[in-house]
Structure 1
Amino acid sequence: MASAPTATVGIDTIAVINNAISARMLAEAMVRDGVDPARMAVISARRLNLDWLDGCAIHVAYPAKPRQSLLGQWPFVSFYRRASRLIEGLLAAGGIRRIYVVNVENLLTNHLALKAKSDPRIEVVLLVEGIFNFQEIERRNRAAWRWAVKPALARLLGLRWQTPEGHLSGAFEPTIHRVVSFTDIGLKAPQDKVDIVAWQPVAPAVPADDGTLLVVHTGLWQWMDADAYLHVARSFVQWVEARGFRRIIVKHHPHVGPGALEDMLPAHETWDVTASMEDLAAEVPAATVAGTCCTALVTLKLLRPDLRCVDVGADFYCDTAYHGDHSVEHLLAGAGVEIVPIGALDGTRP
């Protein structure tokens, strides 16, 4: 990936992205907004393998897979120092007119949103990053140590910080002018800010086999205790086994390990690719795609309406992992994803 030079002359746009979906929303927003990549600085807040980022004036790349513990943040301090120095240099130069961010819970995006408040010339655009933007994700959904540590870290890095209130995307903050999304189904954002860049369906490049299942892993296990997640995993496996698929393919999450489900699945093969599910939509060899609380179920159904996309366990994980917030079911159902409740598998619900 390209390094981050110190020269900031001519750069008028800053973007912070964190996954393949926000990167895709950025690329499409850039076309719509007439943004020249040669005049844009991009900071990747997650590790992204996207060649087009090297065509930007500056790209500060995330160094490794993210870690969820407090001590695990230490290897990323140098990345945040480098990115914060870049941001301060760009803002001090006075030429920034547009900022794209993915949310306001990150140290860098929080600082950018706060700094933009004092400069009416800067438009702040929120990029949708996934299911996060369609759920009621607030401070209670994050580990308490993060809110205790971030003010001190921000000071050490020379950044401003304001602990977010309400939805962690920041969509409802006055600082955010637009919210760029691939759909408005259940989107947590003021309607007058929503800017839809609809994704057009793609034609299949390979036959979708009715006897093949594609399992899309998620990081859901991070948000619930081990026993609760095992209940979800066992129910998922029960659903899979009852359907008698001849072939099972697994696609890992790009940033998070698969959790216990990986070893519990029947015999399967791994789709060993680094591309996003959205970029692979035409290549999906399975007629059925299943997962638990996975954005790819929605995006694949929008890109490939012919596929059967199935979410297993929303009735349980919405209560256990998301404090009773069932709003993700609105997105799943609205996009045409089939929702299989755990209660229908264990006999507690018809």
Structure 2
Amino acid sequence: MAGEAGRAWPSCLLWQDPADTEDGEALKSAELGRALTGRAPRPLVLSGDMGPLLRRQPFSDGVPEAEWNIDDDALMGQLHGLYRAAGAECALTHTAGCASAQLEGGLRDVADQVNEQAVREARSCGPRFVMGLVAQRGCALDGEALDSLMLQAATLKEAGVHGMMVWADDLASACALTRAVKKVWGGPLVATVPFAPATGARGAGPATPDGQVPAEAFRALAAEGAHAVGAELRTGDVASFSQELSRAAEKSGRSLVVRLVPDACGTVAEEAGLTGPSAGIARDVGGATRDKAVASAVRTLAGDGACAIWCGGDRPLADTAAVVAQLDALGAR
């Protein structure tokens, strides 16, 4: 692994540094570009989802996730700080679902403020990089939606991000969203799409929800201008899919970023009806099992050359810490 982590993809066009610039932010963006095109000495760890952390806050029921960006900047800064303390070097803005067309009620009128404040909160903990998250989940991408997401990307750019993360439900949406973001953003850009077993059976090859295999998906995302291609994966699928995804990314001339979604391992107590000390022990066992699954997935992904990893799921902060711990154990950090 140590010899693999810093390699550049043979067919990947390496990020070109800006010439003769005194702009520190441009240099940061160029450094992120190098990390995302295979020239970094180790995999980059990105912060994970904020949603699960926000839903555990007191009185959070019924509060739109976007509202936290403008109503509690101290809390959002603290959560970004926790990810940084866990070892995440790149902060992802809490802006999934924050384009004006995705917001409801009065939030739609303050969409720019929601996104600008999200960037300030991500920057507040002093991360190495900040990436703006532009996402389409669970809704059709018509012209109005694409225009709104493009304007969101422009707002994130002006607020001072170093890169963009595009995240969509299927390949067609990811391509359309990448194309829209590229109209306003020329810096480092990752386009991410989910992969799952094509037939739902264990051992089946990976495919996007709209039925595209990795080679086709990554070729299409690269053609739209993504500098790195992203795959959302369950931990249980990593061992079967990692090599094929890595080879497909390499053939497309891009490096691979993985959004890792750990399979739930902590419901033993509830399923068995345990309470008291027995329930606590069962939860500890479930957490340890999940940490081992994350560690195994990270070993595989790092060995196959993934250039960056970030976590989704129901406990993304703990899983981010598990990712960092495994990379430390591999000597990859």
Structure with larger RCO (C-alpha < 8 A, sep 6+): 2
Tell which structure's C-alpha radius of gyration is larger: 1
TM range (shorter): under 0.3
More helix by share: 2
TM-score by length of 1: 0.26
